[in-house]
A = this chain, B = another copy of it.
Amino acid sequence: MSRGHNFSAGPAALPETVLRQAQAELLEWGGSAASVMEVSHRGKEFMAMAAQAEADLRELLAIPANYKVLFLQGGATQQFAQIPMNLARPDQRVDYVVTGDWGEKAVREAGSLAQVHVAANSAGNRHTAIPPRAEWDLDPASAYVHYTPNETIRGVEFFDIPDVGDVPLIADMSSTILSRPIDVSRFGLIYAGAQKNIGPSGIVVVIVREDLLQRCPKSLPKIFSFAEHAAQDSLLNTPNTFGWYLAGLIFKWLKAEGGLAAMELRNRRKAETLYACIDESGFYANPVEKSARSWMNVPFTLPRPELDELFLQESKAAGLLALKGHKLVGGMRASIYNAVTQQSVDALVEFMRDFARRRG
């Protein structure tokens, strides 16, 4: 047995050096004489680690001082509800730009909590392109504009931050955060489930502009209130301590690897390698408009669906893991997050070329 090339969409590949460190100190963490899983979240060892993780994330993303960073539970899906609960009144309009299945889910979960308006939706072209900004039906009085910079299932990504004026822009960055530098100051709130580029599942990072915390209703149960979590440095209740710890190791790894500028170069090259293989093959196909092709999630189809099972069997035998596409779209998908190396992408491309030669 040895570790495969892991293209899972999430929970996804983690850097092997991070896993090795976690393994080495799993029974005795730092000077605590216990596992990091066995110490109080209110003890000074854990709190120092947690604060360092936040500081490293702030440095990586150049998060301005007027933003709070929260480490919460419930994943991005819970944020679909928590965001309108905190930032909109039930009678207030909120605008959603939908470019895929996660955007659709965000709309559904918010449905009973605010007056949800779909300002644009790429469903008409099966989410293969991004609706032009000029066609978005936004209202300057809306509580916020929500969008999904990268759609994990169909592999559609924004490469510019849309200008929505003074209305706070909210982004579900679950599958793109930390893949390259971004200008956080353009956003009212950014959130991201950890299980792609941050760490293991069970933790979600929320980056929120401080002035928006004034909107959080006092009547909310504290556990749902961004303002309460911010006031207590995400220690309102027991957090996912192991997830926070592992995220902290990932942030240190990212810094050691050269930060997000280095990630951008790597991720661009990995994506270019894979899309070039698809486009040049005359065998594989990706339906997304080139300007909106995701760097993180690359879905592709084979020319005949009966080849799918064979492709999956042979790729797995070659140590290429988790290439099956999402059930909503079928085909294949390679997720190539930060922890997936160029070497893994090269191995995939080599296999794909060989498979096409043999089955084309």
Contacts and interface: CB of A to CB of B under 8 A. Distances in A.
A177 interface: no
A239 B32 CA distance: 28
A200 B37 contact: yes
B27 A20 contact: yes
B321 A31 contact: no
Contact of A3 (B14, B28, B109, B222): B28
Interface stretch (A4-12, A132-140, A267-275): A4-12
A8 B201 contact: no
A8 B224 contact: no
Nearest to A26: B23
Q: Name the residue among A6, A31, A37 with the largest chain B CB count within 10 angstroms.
A: A37
Interface residues of A, number: 68
Given A38-B12, A39-B322, A3 B33 contact: yes
A80 B221 CA distance: 9
Contact of A11 (B33, B37, B78): B37
Nearest to A199: B37
A23 B22 CA distance: 8
A128 interface: no
Interface stretch (A69-77, A143-151, A297-305): A69-77
A26 B223 CA distance: 32
B238 A193 contact: yes
A64 to B, nearest CB: 29
A42 to B, nearest CB: 9
Interface string A188-221: 0000010100001111000000000000000111
**Copies of this chain, count:** 2
Given A73-B75, A242-B200, A242-B202, A11 B39 contact: yes
Nearest to A46: B11
A109 B221 contact: yes
Given A2-B28, A41-B201, A202-B202, A223 B19 contact: no
A14 B16 CA distance: 25
A237 B19 CA distance: 24
Quick one: which of A31, A80, A110, A240 has the most chain B CB within 10 A? Answer: A240
Contact of A27 (B23, B28, B246, B322): B23
Interface in A165-186: none
Interface of A: 1-4, 6, 8-14, 16, 19-20, 22-23, 26-28, 31-35, 37-41, 43, 73-78, 80-81, 108-110, 112-113, 193, 195, 200-203, 219-224, 236-243, 246, 319, 321-322
Given A2-B28, A3-B27, A20-B27, 15 more contacts: A6-B38, A11-B38, A19-B27, A33-B319, A39-B322, A40-B322, A77-B222, A77-B238, A80-B223, A81-B221, A112-B219, A112-B221, A200-B242, A201-B242, A202-B238
